[in-house]
Structure 1
Amino acid sequence: MDKIRIAVRKFEPFETTLKKLWDAFSVENNLNMEAEMIPLELHDLYEETLTKKGLQNGDWDIAHINTDWIFDAVNSKAVENLSPLIAQNPPQNFPEGWHESLLHLQEINNQVYGLPFHDGPECLIYRKDLFEDISEKENFKNQYGYDLQPPKTWEQFTQIAEFFNRPSDNLYGCVFANYPDGHNMVFDFCLQLWTRGGSLLHDNNQININKLEAIQALDFYRHIVNNPKTTHPKSKEFGSVEAGMAFATGEAAMAINWFGFASMCEVIEASKVKGKVDIAELPHDENQNSASLNVYWLYTIGSGSKHKNIAYDFLRFATTPQSDKLLTNEGGIGCRKSTWNDTEINKTIPYYHKLSMLHENALTLPQTPVWPKVAELIDYMVLKAIDSKIPSAQLLEETQKNIQKII
């Protein structure tokens, strides 16, 4: 029997949602076709779909591609241009059904190469039950001289993390994702840089990270990650999923992570913090603004697929308002405005409507084919900062020299 192959970002909510969607799609279309869905970790997903040209040579019909990679994927002709298919048979309420910030990264040279699948910008996730506890508030004010509330600055973030760090209770002030996969530490570095008023780009739009704000960002980050008085000791082993699970099982008071890991706390069985979580904008330096990072996941079709029409029909089915809501109820993050404002969803996840607020501050990474290689260099730099005593200024200078060689 003929089958369609789907490369899935490994994450249980994605896997269960896709299985349910394919089953429903098959019944609705009287389709007798098997879908082989292979869950892959980030690095393996990039390797399978792009490095090994799996999307070009027909190994994969559909793949989850994140917006970090889409420019690279389009440049290497790995993914199908969906614009002609959309013109003939658009997804329901396209494009008005989505926030504009979820439509532009996959639009290259006025052509569309993917449909939004899973979203949720970076934010501060915190335990509101701890922050609202009367005795905690009193003790905090006595110790630090100001009211306990979600931190506005990185200095407050550090103090609050110290206050809630209680290893004997298996509770830590904060948790990070420091597993070197070319993503989490890169994103954290960018957020630290942006919330200090810095930028990844030079005046001439070239990538340049060798600047004062970057030194401050790297200094702060390497210190807090290694601080046993504030930070979960397993942070260095955690990817974003593991850090999200540690928060969901009650092991941290605060996390800087994707919005999806906040909503996951309300819907997964393993969560010990249902109803005890809220989100806020990221802290920032004095006199600077908050920032968020918008990287989202897309459904894409391989340019070498032999089942492009069925694949596109499935993409249309998988992005309807009902399917988007299903993904959310499974523990992912729907991308449609209708899901963000859904009464039932906001009953389960009371901060879901705040997604539009996060998108107002959400910045994006530079769209250049060399970004994945630049990200590897930044990832290596942050890892070196965490694991060594080499001054941040020296690490940034060396990394910028290596970036220059690529660009």
Structure 2
Amino acid sequence: MAKRKFRIAVRKFAPFESALEKLWNAFVEEYKIDVAVEMVAFELHDLYYQTITQNGLKDGYWDIAHLNTDWILDAVNKHAVADLNPLIADNSPDNYPDGWHNSLLKLQQINGGTYGLPFHDGPECLIYRKDLFEDEAEQEHFKNVYGYDLQVPKTWKQFSDIARFFNRPDKNLYGCVFANYPDGHNMVFDFCLQLWTRGGSLLDDKSQIQIHHKTAVNALDFYRKMVNDEKACHPGSRNFGSVGAGMAFAKGEAALAINWFGFASMCEVIAESKIKGKVNIAELPAEAGGQTASLNVYWLYTIGKGSEYQDLAYKFLRFATRASSDKLLTQEGGIGCRKSTWADEEVNAEIPFYHQLAQMHENARTLPQIKNWPQIAELIDQMVLQAVITDIPSTVLLKKTQFKIQELL
């Protein structure tokens, strides 16, 4: 009987898919592997459902899967993913762990085990059109209208002013773009960033989730006003996930975006980009009492607990995470995780701000790694969605969501 195919569950995103295909082909050629492969790309909800909810990794249907660090504790608790420590001990990846920043090694370390290797990275940041900001005519006009110099926004009020200033629907240019599709991720991240940059926290002094407080109300009030501002925000935001928002920005349809570093990088490498050489990144704005913040959520290569191909899967993971492979992912439009890629001269010649990744990781925060986080994130996601599409007061939405979280826990 013929062996079954080697199966990889992929996060649906063209650069991931193209990079993985190239890496597998190179892997097969180098090691003379004679196993048919099946790669299937999934959107976020479907990827979680196929790999974790449906026990696809636990039962061995999937040999390798892209999982993000929001899910990894849940995957470990459900016995879905293999502990890589024994494999690493026998044959560690090249320059492991020193080849990676410590911030990309912590979240997959659970109860003494290692449950994945870094695949794709890129903390949240402010992405902006530097050509618009550097235009002298725009600078003069902005100062005449708002009474202060046009510069990268340091406060959320400045962010709002600048978004309104550059909002020009007749030219298919909008002030800002967000990802408001309810996928349990993007709006949760946006809410956290609004909260943190106002000095707030998701956790109380007992490290329990607590979002019903004044700073959270202010954060949600600003966010719902911003994304519903027809004179500032891209009208497609309601239906955009992070990929859609990133593509809209790359096509030159927005002046500002709050998104993953990878979407700034993508503007410099993909054929669809209309703004190559016109992009830069910066820290997020903040308000009094808060400070700028970034969010570090990253993607992992994981191996199915039930895979009959674990040795082959790990052999591929070692291949796919070596320096040349990490660089290839970056050149395809993803974000490599190795320090060597961040500092690579060729990469930085093509993406001039790429070296800033190292500094961004010094200030990046992470989401709480607690039981039921994916379910809590869904509740927060639905709360933010209700804020965006209804007039229910923010304090009511936060109170109801806090009650649901406490019931869940």
Q: Does 1:278 align with 2:280?
A: yes
Q: How does 1:2-401 map to 2 (within 5 A)?
A: 2=3, 3-401=5-403
Question: In the aligned structure 1, how far is the partner of 2:89 from the partner of 2:335?
Answer: 27
Q: Encode CA deviations 1:283-328: one digit per residue, 9 max, x unaligned.
A: 1113421000000000000000000000000000000000000000
Shift of residue 361, structure 1, vs aligned partner: 1.5
For structure 2, the residue ranges without an aligned partner over 5 or more in a row are: none
What's the secondary structure of 1:39's corresponding residue?
Answer: strand
Secondary structure, counterpart of 2:40 in structure 1 = strand
1:90 alignment partner, SS class: coil
Query: Which secondary structure state, in structure 2, belongs to the residue aligned with residue 55 of structure 1?
Result: coil
Deviation at 1:110, TM superposition (A): 2.1
Equivalent position SS for 2:235: coil
| 1:336-356 Cα shifts (integer Å, max 9, x gaps) | 000000000000000001111
C-alpha distance in structure 2 between counterparts of 1:397 and 1:16, whole Å: 44
Q: CA offsets per residue over residues 37-56 of structure 1, 9 Å max, x none?
A: 00000000000000000001
The answer to whether the 8 Å contact 2:200/2:290 transfers is no
Instruction: Look up the SS of the partner of 1:372 in the other structure.
Output: helix
Please list the CA deviations of residues 191-227 of structure 1 after superposition, one character each: whole Å capped at 9, or x if unmatched: 0000000000011011111111100000000000000
Q: Is the 8 A contact 2:269 2:333 kept in 1?
A: yes
C-alpha RMSD of the superposition = 0.7
Q: Tell me the TM-score normalized by structure 2.
A: 0.99
> How far apart, in 2, do the equivalents of 1:243 and 1:25 lie?
33
SS of residue matched to 1:126? strand
Provide TM-score, normalisation by structure 1: 0.99
Residue 280 of structure 1, CA deviation: 0.2
8 Å CA contact retained: 2:120, 2:334:
yes
Q: Structure 1, residues 22-80: CA drift from partner, whole Å, max 9, x if none?
A: 11111111111121000000000000000000001111000000000000000111000
Query: Residues 128-177 of structure 1: CA distance to partner in whole angstroms, max 9, x if unpaired?
Result: 00000010011111111211111000000000001000010000000000
Do the aligned residues in 1 keep the contact of 2:84 with 2:115 (CA within 8 Å)?
A: yes
Amino acid at match of 2:156: W
Could you tell me how far apart the structure 2 residues matched to 1:154 and 1:34 are?
51
Question: What is the distance in 2 between the residues matched to 1:35 and 1:100?
Answer: 32
Distance 1:357 1:229 in 2: 34
Task: Return the alpha-carbon distance in structure 2 between the equivalents of residues 50 and 287 of structure 1.
Answer: 40
Q: State the one-letter code of the partner of 2:145.
A: Q
CA distance in 2, matches of 1:287, 1:74: 37
Q: Aligned-pair distance for 1:369?
A: 2.2
Structure 2 Cα separation of the partners of residues 321 and 211 of structure 1: 45
Identical columns (%): 67
Residue type matched to 1:210 in 2? H
**Which amino acid in structure 2 is aligned with residue 76 of structure 1?**
K
The secondary structure found in structure 2 opposite 1:227 is coil
In the aligned structure 2, how far is the partner of 1:198 from the partner of 1:287?
9
